[in-house]
Amino acid sequence: MMDKSAVDLKKILPYGDIKGDGVVQLAFTLPVPVSPEAREAAIQVCKKMGLEEIKVATMEKAATRFSFFVVYGKTKHPIDFTQIKVLKIDSPVLSRVEIDALVKETFGRKLIILGACTGYDAHTVGIDAIFNMKGFAGDYGLERYEWFDAKNLGAQVLNEDLLKLAVEQNADAILVSKVVTQHNIHVKDLKELMEKAERMGIRNKIIFIAGGPRVTHPLAIECGFDAGFGIGTKPSEVASYIVHELLKKKA
């Protein structure tokens, strides 16, 4: 008997009801009133996206001049999963106790870690979750690590002030949190920090880490950082990365 669950990794498609059906769901508005023409326009938008067998599940009046759609369609463009390569963080995640022991043994001094929400960003929920004693999701924050000297500088710290402080305090790692992303302000601020670090000649002396709900590892790399952590990251994941990177540098 043929194994129905076998997936051809060289040709994967979205999976809805049966293998390879390519079903996707979309929701969007069009800036025109609800009408048969609006429905047709929605179908054509989806066709131009490369979808087939398009079904408009609902068309609703979101407002006089706006129609809202939920649409299903099928894509016929398979992806070769075996060829996919992504930048990702591959350091193993250790516990707080293990990390403290490792730092004590290999460095014999406290690692100095600075964190901040930079620019105009006032949303400290992310940086607080990583730094505060209490931590996040049952995982203690960096301030709780015995062999870390972790300082959370809070919100709206200017890039130059952060770098100046990092030099003064001989920081091993800098964590930058960006929450506001309108007009890509987060990317702009992150890049500016790295350009300044480069000019000050400290780019390679410190580990630079970015974090935030819309931050990914590849985005952070693109901005010149060493690593990026997204939503749901636990403090021990960040701590493990820092220690492993410093060990690599030491070696």
Partner 1 sequence: MAHLELNQQTIIECRRLAAQIVLKIKPVIDLHTTVGIERAALRLIGVSGALHKEGLRYPFSNSIVDQLREDRVLSKGALFWFVNALTQTGLSVSELSQKTSTGELRLSQLEKTPVAELKKYAYDLCKESLKKLAMRREERWALRKTQGDPFDLSFSSRPLVYVIVATGNIYDDVIQAQAAVEAGADAIAVIRSTAQSLLDYVPEGATTEGFGGTYATQENFKIMRDALDKEGKKAGRYIRLTNYSSGLCMAEIAALAAMERLDFLLNDAMYGILFRDINMKRTLIDQNFSRMIIAYSDIIIHTGEDNYLTTADAIENGHQVLASQFINERFALEAHMKEEQMGLGHAAEMNPWHNNVFLLEIARAQMTRDIFQKSPIKFMPPTRHKVGDIFFSHVMDAMFNLVGVLTNQGIQLLGMPTEAMHTPLLQDRFVSIKSAHYIFNAAKDLGKEISFKKDGMITMWASKVLEDTLQLLRKIEHSGLFKAIEDRCFANVSRKLDGGKGLDGVVQKDKEYLNPFFELL
What are the catalytic residues?
134
Q: How far is the CB of 105 from partner 1 (least distance, A)?
A: 33
User: Of 187, 206, 219, whose CA–CA distance to 118 is shortest?
Assistant: 187
Q: Does 35 bind partner 1 (CB under 8 A)?
A: no
The rounded Cα 50 to chain-centroid distance in angstroms is 28
Q: Which of 180, 187, 221, 247 binds partner 1 (CB under 8 A)?
A: 180
Check: CB of residue 104 under 8 Å from CB of residue 124: no
Q: Does 158 bind partner 1 (CB under 8 A)?
A: no
Q: Which of 46, 114, 155, 163 binds partner 1 (CB under 8 A)?
A: 155
Check: CB of residue 89 under 8 Å from CB of residue 218: no
Q: Does 101 bind partner 1 (CB under 8 A)?
A: no
The phi and psi torsions of 146 (rounded to 5 degrees) equal: -65, -35
Beta-strand pair 111-117/173-177: parallel
Check: CB of residue 66 under 8 Å from CB of residue 29: yes
Q: How far is the CB of 60 from partner 1 (least distance, A)?
A: 7
Q: Which of 128, 139, 226, 245 binds partner 1 (CB under 8 A)?
A: 128
Q: Does 72 bind partner 1 (CB under 8 A)?
A: no
Of 205 and 214, which has the nearer Cβ to partner 1?
A: 214
Of 68 and 107, which has the nearer Cβ to partner 1?
A: 68
What CA–CA distance (Å, rounded) separates 175 from 149? 13
Q: Candidates 57-65, 94-102, 142-150, 192-200 — which segment interacts with partner 1 by CB under 8 A?
A: 57-65
What CA–CA distance (Å, rounded) separates 108 from 129? 27
Check: CB of residue 211 under 8 Å from CB of residue 179: no
Please give the structure tokens belonging to residue 66. Answer: 């706006």
Return the number of other C-beta atoms located less than 10 Å from residue 8's C-beta.
Answer: 13
User: Which DSSP letter does residue 184 get?
Assistant: G
Q: Does 102 bind partner 1 (CB under 8 A)?
A: no
Q: Candidates 12-20, 124-132, 190-198, 221-229 — which segment interacts with partner 1 by CB under 8 A?
A: 124-132
Q: Candidates 34-42, 63-71, 100-108, 201-209 — which segment interacts with partner 1 by CB under 8 A?
A: 63-71
Q: Does 28 bind partner 1 (CB under 8 A)?
A: yes
Q: Candidates 24-32, 47-55, 75-83, 99-107 — which segment interacts with partner 1 by CB under 8 A?
A: 24-32
Beta-strand pair 23-30/173-177: unpaired
Q: At what angle do helices 96-106 and 235-250 cross, to 10 degrees?
A: 20
User: Per CB under 8 A, which of residues 193..232 are in contact with partner 1?
Assistant: 213-214, 231-232
Chain residues that interact with partner 1, rule: CB under 8 A = 27-29, 60, 62-66, 68, 120-122, 124-125, 128, 132, 134, 154-156, 180-183, 185, 213-214, 231-232
